[in-house]
């Protein structure tokens, strides 16, 4: 047997070229990245110019009001929960609306909106809600309430503490900090982009019965789903948005479904809550995902439909193939068993589909479409954690 060559004990690993090490670091997941940067001072130095490659969905657990921290759970590290601390008094009194990468869209106690980076604490303030360009106007009263008015319709709403922000969406470029924030109110789309001093509006639907029922933003395109089962796609890549796709499903408005029905458990009646979600695949194809839950159990089922481009009808799918749905984000991601993502599965937070329950740790699920069974993340993550909400998301660890 040949004798060991000099340096075979691993001492020469520290002499690898920085460019090569950088390529290695960029291919590592979060857990392996943290281990690799601890190998030696040289590796630690190179890691500061790199970032882990992460496509695995994490859980963000949001605290109860008054707490200035949040918790992150990485499924690769089943026993590990990361605490992001000292996010500030304002964060403790703010309400979470949406997440993108490592950024949160928040609404503070006075209904001002802002974007916050979990890791760098960088903050971007958004225009005030009173700065609306469009038919909807929000007026703040002396006692810090809001009155909603619709121009030309003589509509004046009752004073409200918070403006109802439906289907909130956040997208932000990690390098340039260009962002888009979108939400809906009645049949109007409200949006603001980096550099805007006010909120702009688009009237998407002329009839309340066919108002916006779901929105997804992907690759500079906004996918809109209406209660009539129609899909509209708006292109936001230019200075002015433009409509590039629209379907007409010919759906009878009297048969519109998907609105949650109240469940009266005290009457002993077993009912079903059915909610429809819009999901956009990796290749940009819209899916209609219907979730169904029994009122007396945690038995879930899902039905998935894909738009047939030739006749604008929805066709039922039996499998997602090598993709998985992140229902909270309305997207699919490529799944690979070696990377910790369950293929042909749906990652979701069940409380958003139930009008009768508060959030608990039992509402974090992974639904396997092959077995039609629900799995839960490692039970230890929630055993001693008090949180008000949770979301599946894909964090971004890139540095400035």
User: What three-state secondary structure class fits 349?
Assistant: strand
Predicted confidence band at 206 (pLDDT cuts at 50, 70, 90)? low
Residues 237 and 249 sit within 8 Å (Cβ to Cβ)? no
Q: How confident is the model over 88-97, as a mean pLDDT?
A: 90
Counted residue by residue, the chain has a size of 400
Start-to-end CA span in the chain (Å): 50
Residue 188 included in any domain? no
Considering only residues 75 and 96, tell me which one the structure prediction assigns the higher pLDDT: 96
Considering only residues 348 and 352, tell me which one the structure prediction assigns the higher pLDDT: 348
- Residue 262 pLDDT exceeds 50: no
Residue 98 included in any domain? no
User: What three-state secondary structure class fits 43?
Assistant: helix
Closest to 196 measured CA to CA, from 124, 96, 140: 124
The total number of structural domains in the chain stands at 2
Q: How far apart are CA 347 and CA 328, in angstroms?
A: 8
Question: Using the 8-state DSSP alphabet, how is residue 277 labeled?
Answer: E
Range of the domain at 339: 257-387
Pairing of strands 323-326, 345-349: parallel
- Residue 366 pLDDT exceeds 90: no
Residues 6+ apart with CB under 8 A from 248: 230, 312
Q: Would you state the pLDDT for residue 32?
A: 76
What integer best gives the mean pLDDT of the chain?
A: 80
Strand ranges across the sheet with 242-246: 212-218, 221-226, 231-235, 242-246
Q: How far apart are CA 42 and CA 13, in angstroms?
A: 9
Q: How far apart are CA 84 and CA 395, in angstroms?
A: 13
Residue 216 included in any domain? no
CA distances (Å), 2 to each of 5, 13, in order?
A: 8, 21
Residue 370 included in any domain? yes
Residue 218 included in any domain? no
Question: Using the 8-state DSSP alphabet, how is residue 160 labeled?
Answer: B
Residue 292 included in any domain? yes
Considering only residues 111 and 389, tell me which one the structure prediction assigns the higher pLDDT: 111
Residue 41 included in any domain? yes
Residues 6+ apart with CB under 8 A from 239: none
Tokens matching residue 147: 């009155």
For 374, counting Cβ atoms within 10 Å of its Cβ (0-12 exposed, 13-18 middle, 19+ buried), the class is middle
Residues 107 and 82 sit within 8 Å (Cβ to Cβ)? no
- Residue 7 pLDDT exceeds 70: no
- Residue 351 pLDDT exceeds 70: no
Residues 75 and 55 sit within 8 Å (Cβ to Cβ)? no
Predicted confidence band at 1 (pLDDT cuts at 50, 70, 90)? very low
Q: Would you state the pLDDT for residue 286?
A: 93
Residue 315 included in any domain? yes
């Amino acid at each position: 047997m040949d004798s060991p060559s000099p340096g075979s004990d691993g001492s020469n690993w520290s002499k690898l070229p920085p460019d090569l090490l950088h390529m290695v670091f960029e291919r590592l997941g979060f857990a392996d990245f943290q281990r690799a940067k601890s190998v030696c001072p040289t590796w630690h130095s190179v890691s500061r110019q790199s970032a882990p490659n992460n496509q695995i969905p994490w859980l963000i657990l949001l605290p109860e009001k008054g707490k200035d921290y949040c918790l992150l759970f990485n499924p690769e590290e089943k026993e590990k929960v990361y605490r992001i601390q000292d996010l500030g008094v304002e964060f403790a009194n703010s309400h979470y609306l949406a997440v993108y990468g490592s950024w949160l869209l928040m609404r503070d106690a006075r209904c001002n909106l802002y974007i916050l980076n979990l890791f760098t604490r960088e903050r971007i303030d958004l225009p005030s809600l009173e700065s609306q360009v469009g038919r909807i106007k929000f007026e703040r009263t002396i006692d810090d309430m809001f009155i909603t008015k619709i121009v030309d319709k003589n509509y004046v709403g009752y004073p409200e503490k918070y403006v109802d922000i439906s289907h909130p969406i956040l997208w932000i470029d990690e390098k340039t900090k260009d962002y888009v924030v979108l939400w809906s109110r009645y049949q109007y789309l409200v949006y603001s982009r980096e550099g805007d001093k006010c909120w702009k509006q688009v009237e998407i639907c002329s009839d309340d019965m066919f108002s916006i029922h779901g929105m997804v933003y992907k690759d500079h395109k906004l996918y809109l789903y209406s209660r009539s089962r129609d899909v509209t796609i708006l292109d936001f890549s230019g200075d002015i948005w433009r409509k590039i796709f629209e379907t007409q499903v010919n759906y009878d408005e009297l048969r519109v479904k998907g609105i949650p029905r109240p469940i009266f458990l005290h009457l002993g009646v077993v009912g079903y809550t059915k909610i429809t979600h819009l999901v956009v695949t990796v290749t940009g194809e819209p899916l209609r995902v219907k979730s169904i839950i029994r009122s007396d159990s945690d038995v879930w089922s899902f039905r998935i439909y894909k738009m047939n481009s030739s006749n604008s009808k929805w066709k039922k799918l039996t499998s997602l193939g090598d993709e998985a749905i992140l229902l909270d984000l309305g997207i699919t991601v490529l799944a690979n068993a070696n990377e910790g993502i369950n293929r042909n599965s749906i990652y979701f937070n069940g409380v958003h589909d139930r009008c009768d329950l508060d959030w608990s740790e039992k509402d974090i699920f992974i639904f396997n479409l092959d077995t039609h069974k629900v799995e839960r993340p490692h039970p230890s993550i929630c055993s001693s954690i008090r949180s008000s909400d949770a979301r599946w998301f894909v964090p971004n660890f890139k540095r400035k």
